[in-house]
Amino acid sequence: MIKLLKNSPDLLTPSIEVSVEEILTEEFQDLIEKIMDEIAESGGVGCAAPQIGVNKRVFVYRYGGEYIVVINPVYIKRTDIVTNHGEACLSIPGAFYNVKRCKTVTIEYLDRSAAKQRLRAPNKKVAFILQHEMDHLDGILITKGKKL
């Protein structure tokens, strides 16, 4: 079992980009599997590498029964800011926050084979997941929102 960081100052450190060469290593592919395992074990919908103590720009989220690996993501477009009521985080157990999020986002990233991808979130739920996990990569926690 992986040790998930909870309320750790390490979660406030921005993550470093991953090179294409590193993405293709067995060690990095193992990291991706560990992140997927954490999602499965915790029942969460997403997990970023910093949450398991690895300062790399990678996260995985689960949607429609599928795991999507996102490496070195950047925003291409964000629109329609709204408040996400009751957002939770695996790294801050038992707390829920109101967080301002965009209803629609488009990102570019590398997948686990280092191929460039572009994703427009298909719905508000995925848009919120993407923003939450990208915040982790930037060293931002949901505690910036109003605690419920």
Q: What residues are annotated to the active site? A: 133
In whole angstroms, what is the distance from residue 60 CA to residue 135 CA?
Answer: 13
Contact 3, 53 (CB under 8 A): yes
In whole angstroms, what is the distance from residue 35 CA to residue 41 CA?
Answer: 10
Q: Which two tokens stand for residue 72?
A: 């070195």
DSSP characters over 19-33 = -HHHHTSHHHHHHHH
The DSSP 8-state label assigned to residue 8 in this structure reads -
Contact 139, 9 (CB under 8 A): no
**Cα–Cα separations (whole angstroms), residue 74 to 4, 48, 117, 143:** 25, 15, 11, 22
